[in-house]
Chain A
């Protein structure tokens, strides 16, 4: 359901993924993983080639409509440090929030409940919701960033090394949350991931990039079933 092809920093990258799949993006630093994720998220527009999400062409005109369908997890978290954890997670629902709620940072009960559930699933205490994001550790901030991306139940989740600052056990838990999300909501997760054992456990597909080229793809649907 996702197709991408491009040139320059990315060349001859063409693939499609079915909904519900968990795709691991592999490759050395500078191979173009982040560029590919930015391309899919609409942060950069391809000079050549096209991206389709759910059959819709992603371009500057359709970007505004497609954005709520895409949840993004950043390597550097990109949280508002001065705002509460709750406000940071609720930011995932920003397009649906009225301005006064955004200004006063008062969120409806269902939003709070969902944020608490997501935090708990990611192995964090719901009491964390009221703390300012500046007090979080790197691993906590990363999981808050993931909760923000999943908040709006997107069709596509783009995660740039979402477990980089997590210990192996927490990394496992976090990836299983992403994988469960993909299965339950028929969403697609594309995730830059380095650790081979995690890829082996969670990925239904892998894409290997090398110097901007797609060198191999693989499907391991069997792993998930096992």
Chain B
């Protein structure tokens, strides 16, 4: 269908107006106005109908406390790096005589681990990293055969190759979070669900990346190797493998990087690691703890980025 050239600016203007009208309609539905009012509330500390939470995120929670009674242990023999602290806290109590609640000042002694919670978070973070590493291993173990099945250098029949391509696309299409949600329901809370969810999703990516790397490889040496009379597998090993080793390593690194970030997220649906802790703390309104966790995730992702950049230089 061709439109006269003189007509085109009019159509363009009409299209723009229609698009703006649609956006305005959608903005109403999305309640976009609240973004600006919420931002103003958080910044000014005022709120119309809910407490401002900005203040509660600070200071970040690093310590853990446990109740200390004289019985608990010998005061002279405290665990390393801990100290005893006595605080006066106001507590509401029931006066047994008047049967009224009264506010009383209570001395509470507790054993303080100054970096107790930071260590807890580190342990959970390590769990997330372990989930990511196992997930990446699983993804390589599934993705490599999938890529080999569809590689033209191996030359399997077309139905097998397109089946492999479809499996990769299907694995990529389902987000980790959904897979994790279903797996948590199926096999329970904890790392196994996370490992499987990350592994399956990333296998779809690696299957694709590995296959692309093999297709992008220079095919001239393949012809030269075949001309010596070498079989398909030996030709593949000598002409393709040296070419794809670098791309394979860097896409695996990318997937590991991505999996560490995703491992933190899928914990939210109960698949283990730091995400599970994060979700628990948000649900308990422990926003100081949340800040600690977010900073921990931030540090790990930054460090990982740096490591990945350095490793890629070698591949």
Contact = CB atoms under 8 A, between A and B. Distances in A.
B228 A102 contact: no
Interface string B217-253: 0101101111111110111011101110110000000
B230 to A, nearest CB: 3
Contact of A67 (B229, B233, B238, B239): B229
Nearest to A154: B228
A91 B218 contact: no
A87 B229 contact: no
Contact of A43 (B227, B231, B237): B227
B234 A67 contact: no
Interface residues of A, number: 30
B242 A102 contact: no
B241 A103 contact: yes
Contacts of B246: 82
A78 B220 contact: yes
B227 A72 contact: yes
A221 interface: no
Classify the interface of chain B: helix, strand, loop or mixed. helix
A174 to B, nearest CB: 18
B229 A78 contact: no
Size bracket of the B interface: 20 to 34
A82 B103 CA distance: 77
A80 B227 contact: no
A63 B233 CA distance: 18
Most A Cβ at <10 Å: residue of B220, B229, B230, B245: B229
A81 B220 CA distance: 11
Contacts of A80: 218, 221, 238-239, 242-243
A185 to B, nearest CB: 17
A28 interface: no
A119 interface: no
Contacts of B220: 74, 76, 78
Contact of B218 (A71, A81, A93, A95): A81
Interface string A78-107: 111111000100011111010100110100
A152 B241 CA distance: 22
A43 to B, nearest CB: 7
A132 to B, nearest CB: 9
Contact of A78 (B223, B235, B237, B245): B223
Contact of A95 (B224, B228, B237, B241): B228
A79 B234 contact: no
Residue of A81, A91, A103 with most partner-chain B CB within 10 A: A91
B245 A82 contact: yes
Contact of A105 (B223, B233, B242): B242
A116 to B, nearest CB: 19
B228 A94 contact: yes
Given A43-B227, A67-B227, A80-B221, A95 B243 contact: no
Interface string A178-205: 0000000000000000000000000000
Contact of A102 (B221, B226, B237, B243): B237
A9 to B, nearest CB: 19
A103 B241 CA distance: 7
Contacts of B224: 72, 74, 78-79, 91, 148
Contact of B233 (A74, A83, A99): A99
Interface in B66-113: none
Contacts of B243: 80-82
A86 to B, nearest CB: 12
Nearest to B227: A72
B228 A92 contact: yes
B221 A79 contact: yes
Which of A81, A94, A95, A152 gathers the greatest number of chain B CB atoms within 10 Å? A94
A68 interface: yes
B244 to A, nearest CB: 9
Given A67-B228, A68-B229, A152-B228, A95 B234 contact: yes
Nearest to A93: B228
Nearest to A100: B237
B245 A91 contact: no
Nearest to B224: A78
Interface in A34-84: 41-43, 64, 67-68, 70-72, 74, 76, 78-83
The 9 A-B residue pairs with the shortest CB-CB distance in the complex, in nearest-first order? A67-B229, A94-B230, A102-B237, A83-B242, A78-B224, A68-B229, A95-B229, A78-B220, A82-B242
Interface of B: 218, 220-221, 223-231, 233-235, 237-239, 241-243, 245-246
30 contacts: A41-B227, A42-B227, A43-B227, A67-B228, A68-B228, A71-B228, A72-B224, A72-B228, A74-B220, A78-B224, A79-B221, A81-B243, A82-B243, A87-B242, A91-B221, A91-B228, A91-B238, A91-B239, A93-B228, A94-B225, A94-B234, A95-B234, A97-B230, A97-B234, A99-B233, A99-B234, A99-B237, A102-B238, A103-B241, A152-B228
Given A148-B224, A152-B228, 6 more contacts: A41-B227, A80-B221, A80-B239, A91-B228, A94-B229, A103-B237
